Amino acid sequence: MKQFLKYFIQGLILFIPLIITLAILSKLFNFFAGLFSFIGFSENTYLNTALGLVVTLGFISLIGLLASSFVFKQFFGFLEDKLEHAPFIRHIYSPIKDFTNAFVGNKKRFNKPVLVLTNPAAEIEEIGFITQEDLKDFHIVDKVSVYLPMSYSLSGRLIIVPVKNVKPLQADAADTMKFVVSGGVTEKDE
């Protein structure tokens, strides 16, 4: 019975991430199938979804290519400026753009992993990322803003702490983010 339990737990360790991954991929496929059902190149749903997905990936890549050219860079800059100043739209567009830029692109913001003393009495420290070192716009001196991501979530919280409570971590930012988001159970990639 002990051996059976050992094999069962080992099977669960392999089975659960696989099933969750397959479930997410299935949901994504169903989403794209519904999204591209209007294309109708053939009677085959899988072919329509695959073609729609290829067209979408190609379109997004084309926009990226155009955005890197001088002429379109000016156009996208103009369009972005209008979106960031449009009433109501700016409250949606700007935070999403900033959040996306924080993770990907040339303006990655979560690139300074730190250890933050959040509870001195209990000597509790949390891993986070410095997002702003200069808070003078808010009339705050000798403090930094640190984003503390939450495990198993894309959310987190922003805290303002004294500089003396922050210690830089000598670690890769991507590895640190994976470590925190996984709840500390992931292993560092070699």
- Residue partners of 166: CB distance under 8 A and separation at least 6: 114, 115, 116, 117, 130, 144, 146
Question: Rounded CA gap, 110 and 99, in Å?
Answer: 10
| Element of type H or E holding 34 | helix 2-35
DSSP codes of every residue in 36-72: TTTT-SSS-HHHHHHHHHHHHHHHHHHHHHHHTSHHH
Say whether both 122 and 60 belong to one domain: no
Of residues 84 and 104, the one with the higher pLDDT is: 84
Give residue 124's pLDDT.
92
For 6, the token pair is 């050992």
Q: What is the pLDDT of residue 23?
A: 81
**Segment 129-157, tens digit of pLDDT:** 998 888 998 999 999 999 898 887 767 88
Give the β-pairing of 143-149 and 124-132: antiparallel
Q: Which domain holds residue 162?
A: 113-181
- Same domain? 83 vs 152: no
Regarding whether 22 and 45 lie in a shared domain, the answer is yes
Are 145 and 131 in contact by the 8 Å Cβ rule? The answer is yes
Identify the band that residue 127 occupies on the pLDDT scale cut at 50, 70 and 90.
very high
Write out pLDDT tens, residues 3-60: 877 777 777 666 776 777 778 778 877 777 776 666 666 677 777 777 777 877 788 8
Are 11 and 82 in the same domain?
Answer: yes
pLDDT of residue 126: 92
Q: Which long-range contacts (CB under 8 A, 24 or more apart) does 174-180 make?
A: 176/113, 176/127, 176/129, 177/110, 177/113, 177/129, 177/149, 179/127, 180/127, 180/149, 180/151
Q: Are residues 97 and 122 in the same domain?
A: no
For the chain, what is the domain count?
2
| pTM of the model as a whole | 0.55
Residue 28 sits in the same domain as residue 89: yes
- Pair 97, 17 in one domain: yes
Identity at 130, one-letter amino acid code: I
The backbone region for 123, taken as left when phi is positive above 0, alpha when psi lies in -120 to 50, beta otherwise, is left
Domain boundary among 85, 103, 121: 103
Which residue type, as a one-letter code, is found at position 141? Answer: V
Look at residue 121 and tell me if it is in a domain. Answer: yes
Q: Are residues 95 and 11 in the same domain?
A: yes
Domain assignment present for residue 186? The answer is no
Within a domain: residue 67?
yes
CB under 8 Å to 11, separation ≥6 — which residues? none
Question: What is residue 163's DSSP assignment?
Answer: G
